[in-house]
Each structure stands twice: as structure tokens, then as C-alpha cells.
Amino acid sequence: MKVFDELNPPARLLLGPGPSPVHPRVMRALGAPVLGHLDPELLRLLDDTRGLLRDAFRTGNELTLAVSGTGMAGMESVLGGLLEPGDRLVVCAAGFFGHRMAELASRMDVEVTKVEKGWGEVFTPGEVEAAVAAAKPKAVAIVHAETSTGALQPMDGLGEIAHRHDALLIVDCVTSLGGVPVEIEGWGADAAYSGSQKCLGCPSGMAPVTVSPRAREVMAGRGRPAHSWYLDLDLLERYWGGAHAYHHTISSSLVYALREGLRLVAEEGLEARWGRHRPNAEMLWDGLEAMGLALHVADPALRVPSLTTVRVPDGVDEAQVRGRLRDEYGIEIGAGLGPLKGQVWRIGLMGHGSQKANVILLLAALVDLLKRP
């Protein structure tokens, strides 16, 4: 039998669209002894975790937990929990993840009305209202921070619009939670999901989810159970909540990591954390523009502080620059997706990765690489 070489992954500075650099305290938490999924101590840690998640999401929603899986599992659990085959859903799509929500809901036989805008644009309340008024959907879904374009969707008024038309508001907060202001209750959002590996600074594998009492009522009135058994939020709530009924063998290690990541968020303070991500992003934007590069989202107020899209200059081999960044500097950044493939680089300053020293290192590396043939 072949004995493979000893595990020795290189230390990368993760400045792409996720995963982001993991805080050393989170790495230590991952190494703590494994506990059974029904151990009273693990159940206590789950309870801490949901409390910390409520604070991070800025909600009092009872149904707040982390699904075992990545951000996509969060998306599937929310869409599959709130919607049944034949239900109508409006999806606002101006990038890769908006289109993904639409595709996923279609697979659940939900009747999807997709409202589309260009990759890098955001929706006005008027556009959302027009779509909701025309389609009369059960829910409207929108991406808060579109990681494929770097555009930040303004959320003011969207909850009211949805509720005025008797619809639920579903928000993708994968790249915003813990780095950019998220106000689930303030927005009137009925369901939101995120991922552990973006601004929460953990490895991937846990997807925070929160569901409002209004949306829970809708869930309770379903004609048939949720489309996925594994991602069924009712069953997951029975495990995380009072009864602690066995549902699946949750990874205690990932729970420790998420709890530690959230403890770091609480210690720093949400406002302070947002107040760190924003100026570090501004420093990056200023630096890139000083180098003569153009940012894909022109209006700074509509840029995601945790994810910047910068245009690849004419005549530059974008994959070669990314490869050299990785091989010579140990830095990972992301490529463009969909229509932005080959057009932009995606630079993440997320969680523990949002630091001035990282901005300077990346800018200096880009200056070096862009002047080479």
C-alpha cells in the first residue's frame, strides 16, 4: 500500500472570495477534543452559538442555527423550507449567486420570476416593488453582497415592500455577515443565510440561518414536508432547540470553530468590525486606483467592503498574474465568474483577513507583477 507524503499544505494568504484567513483562536478551537452530538456540553455550546448568531444577524429570531454544510446548504435549507412546488418566487439576479438562487428554486419546482440587471448593478426599491406587484409571489429573494460582482444591494424598504404584498423577504448574507452591516430585523427580512468561511473567519462547513416568526408560520402551513430531509429546518430546530432529538451527527469541531469565530465577532463588536472592514477596503480601492486600475463598481457607496472587483487591464494575462501571486507571494485572489470571466479579479478582505498589512502586501505584489511582461 502506498504511504503518501506527510500533509503539508502551503500557508496561503487568502484574499479571494472565500475561504478567508482563519483566526489562530479558531484554528485552536478546531483541535479541541471531539464531543458526541448529544453530549450536554456540546448542546450547551450549540446554545451559545445560536445566541451569538442572533447577535451577529441582529435578530431575536428563535429559529436561528447553523446548518451543517457550506453557504449553499444555507441557501437550499431556506428556499426549500419556505417554498413548495408550485409556489411563486421573485428572484432579483444581478450576478452569479442571484442566478443560482433562481436555478435552485426552479429545481424545487418553484415558479420563479427572475428580475435581471447587469452584473455589478443593484436593484432600486421601485424595481423590486414592480416585480413583486406583478408576480404576487410567496417570497422575494435577493443577494445582499453579490460576491461575483462586488456590488452591495441597499436593503432599505425591501422588507416593507415584500410585506405590503404579502410576501416574505429572503436575503443571501453569505459575504456580508460579520463584515458589512447586516440588520435582519431592521430590514424586515424573514429569512437569511450565510457561510462560516467569509467574514466570520472560520473554515467552510457551517451555514448560519435565521427565520422570522412570520416565515415560521408559513413553514408550519406547508402542505408537504420540506424538499430536503437533511436540510429540513423544522427537524434541525428540533435538534438545536428544546428536544435535542437526534437528526445528524453534527461536527463538534466545526461547532467549536464557529462559536470561537462568533466570540471574536462579539469581542471586537459588530460596529467596530464593520468599521474595520470599510476603511481597509477604501485603502485597497485608493491603492488600486492610484495604480491606474479601474474598479468594476463605480459608486463607492455600492461596493461591498469585503469583496472588491477590479478590472483586468488590457493586454494583461489575468490567470498568469493570479498564478504568480499564488506561487511567488503565497496570495490567493479570485477570478471573474460568468460574463466577468477574464474581466475582473476578485479581492476579498474578509474577517481576520481584513487588515492594513494585507492590503499593502497585495498592492505591492500587484505593482511588481503588473510591470512584468
Ligand X SMILES: *Cc1c(COP(=O)(O)O)cnc(C)c1O
Q: Tell me if 58 sits within 8 A of 285, measured CB to CB.
A: no
Q: From CA 85, how far away is CA 88, in angstroms rounded?
A: 9
Near ligand X by CB under 6 A: residue from 16, 94, 97, 216: 97
Query: Closest separation between CB of residue 291 and ligand X, Å?
Result: 26
Q: Which residue has the cell 477596503?
A: 281
Nearer to ligand X by Cβ, of 42 and 119: the residue is: 119
The per-residue b/e assignment along 163-189, b for 16 or more CB within 10 angstroms, e otherwise, is: eebebbbbbbbbbbbbbbbbebeebbb
Strands 344-348 and 307-311: what pairing?
antiparallel
Question: Nearer Cβ to ligand X, position 175 or 252?
Answer: 175
Q: Which is nearer to ligand X, 148 or 358 (CB)?
A: 148
Minimum distance from CB of 235 to ligand X (Å)? Answer: 21
With contact defined as beta carbons under 8 Å apart, do 141 and 115 qualify?
Answer: no
The two counts, helices (H) then strands (E), for the chain are 13, 14
Is residue 202 a contact partner of residue 196, using CB atoms and an 8 Å limit? yes
Find the radius of gyration of the CA atoms of the chain. Answer: 21
62 vs 183 by CB, closer to ligand X = 183
Residue of 174, 264, 333, 340 interacting with ligand X (CB under 6 A): 174
The yes or no reply on residue 203 touching ligand X (CB under 6 A) is no
251 binds ligand X (CB under 6 A): no
User: Measured from the CB of residue 355, what is the shortest distance to ligand X in angstroms?
Assistant: 20
Residue nearest ligand X, CB atom distance: 71
x/- mask, ligand X, residues 209-238, rule CB under 6 A, reads: ------------------------------
- Whether 351 contacts 21, CB under 8 Å: yes
User: Does residue 354 touch ligand X according to CB under 6 A?
Assistant: no
Shortest gap between Cβ of 230 and ligand X (angstroms)?
15
CB nearer to ligand X: pick between 42 and 236 = 236
Q: By C-alpha distance, which of 138, 157, 8 is closest to 79?
A: 138
71: contact with ligand X by CB under 6 A: yes
281: cell is 477596503
172 binds ligand X (CB under 6 A): yes
Residue 171 pairs in a beta bridge with: 142, 192
**What is the per-residue binding string for ligand X in 8-47, x denoting contact by CB under 6 A?**
----------x-----------------------------
Distance of CA 44 to the CA centre of its chain: 26
All residues at 6 or more sequence positions from 244 whose CB lies less than 8 Å from its CB, including other chains = 38, 43, 238
70 counts as binding ligand X under rule CB under 6 A: yes
Q: Which is nearer to ligand X, 171 or 288 (CB)?
A: 171
- In terms of CB distance, is 42 or 110 closer to ligand X? 110
Decide: 245 and 33 in contact? Cβ < 8 Å: no
Q: Does 137 bind ligand X (CB under 6 A)?
A: no
Site string for ligand X, 142-161 (x = CB under 6 A): -x---x--------------
β-strands 168-172, 191-193 pairing: parallel
Which parts of this chain interact with ligand X (CB under 6 A)?
A: 18, 70-72, 75, 97, 143, 147, 172, 174-175, 195, 204
